[in-house]
Amino acid sequence: MDRLENTIRPYAWGSPTAIPHLLGTAPTGEPQAEMWMGAHPGAPSRTDRGSLVEVIDADPARELGDRTVARFGPRLPFLLKLLAAGAPLSLQVHPDLAQAAQGYADEERRGIPVDAPHRNYKDANHKPELLCALTEFDGLCGFRAPAHAADLLDGLGVDSLKPYVDLLHAHPEDAALREVLTAILTADREETAHTVARTAAACDRLGGDYTPYAGIAHHYPGDPGVLAALLLNHVRLQPGEALFLGAGIPHAYLGGLGVEIMANSDNVLRCGLTPKHIDVPELLRVVRFEPGDPGVLRPEAAPDGEEVYETPIDEFRLSRHVLSEGGPVHDLTRDTPQILLCTAGTVRAGDHELTPGQSVFVPAADKAEASGAGTLFRATVIV
């Protein structure tokens, strides 16, 4: 197995302290938002044999295994991250596989450069993702029931929100949610900014269930996404709990440190809380207007002490081992590629001693054993 050296991305919303605290390094004063582990061309992990992209390209069957290559092609299907949110991320959704393929082909046909700021689809893949909390973690996930969203908006006492309240009482529920989100995103920006300012002041005054939205408005004054955020469920994960975010589910991370795994894609359609491009017609094509519970996941026990976060996705499988000193050696050998990440204590993976934030890549079918006293996350695929 190969020890990984990983890139930390300094996005503006990142926490300046959470990742350094985990790694045991001094903060730089700059935001440290994500640490990427994998073979994404934007920031591939490095090994003694070269970048992980170069390693896999040299012998895909050896590194990924025949079954993984047959199912997903000659590339690592997932990207693993440490994610540290110090401020809210953009409110966003991801396309399903068919939508991504269609959108990518259309933008290619129209000759839109992949790096153009108004480009929606960077690739033809979907981007389901799973976020497992390492600390308390706040986020928004999926639509509230329209009646509950109407009560929340009505309780603010802001007259310019009344039309949205009335729309949310209409039926069917999916049509009501679609009409309100469309109205928010297409309204006059100056009028919306005034409504957002009054909404933010009311959230500050009322507190309670409104507190997360007051924080969002503080970071994004005047942004229509503040109003869209009020349509969504607020969820607070405890360490070890997770959220699965499938295609079309609007979501935003607000604050905390977690382990995130996703299909290897960059496709994001934004709804707000961002200065970046928002393509309203394409967004409305992709969003699933289905109210429901956010569906907090807890790991399910599997053999050999493994705890698995079950999802309906084959591109990735995330699990963890909580190891104790003097406990058994855990055999992690699989015929699929793996990345092992230590998040607590000290763990021995093969010949490598891992401390928090350190990781290794395990080629398919290579022997992999783990022991020690700590927490080890394990990322692989299902074939």
Q: Is 115 exposed, middle or buried (0-12, 13-18, 19+ CB in 10 A)?
A: exposed
Angle ∠(239,244,247) on CA atoms, nearest 5: 155
Pick the catalytic residue: 3, 46, 270, 334? 270
- Chain centroid offset of residue 243 CA: 9
What Rg value do the Cα atoms of the chain yield, rounded?
22
pLDDT for the residue 42: 84
242 confidence band (pLDDT: 50, 70, 90): very high
Confidence of residue 288 (pLDDT cuts 50, 70, 90): very high
Q: Look at residue 191 and tell me whether its pLDDT is greater than 90.
A: yes
Phi, psi (rounded to 5 degrees) for 227: -70, -40
332 pLDDT band (50/70/90 cuts)?
A: very high
Residue 298 makes CB contacts below 8 A (sequence gap 6+) with 240, 241, 242
pLDDT digits (tens, 9 = 90+) for 346-376: 999 999 999 999 999 999 989 999 999 999 9
Which of 100, 56, 62 is CA-nearest to residue 75? Answer: 56
* Average pLDDT estimate for 80-85: 98
DSSP 74: S
Residue 26 pLDDT > 90:
yes
Residue 217 parent element (H or E): helix 211-219
Q: Rounded mean pLDDT of the chain?
A: 95
* Per-residue pLDDT tens digits for 44-77: 999 999 999 999 999 999 999 999 999 999 999 9
Residue 9 annotated to the active site: no
For position 179, what pLDDT does the model report?
96
Residues 10 and 32: their CA atoms lie apart, in Å, by: 5
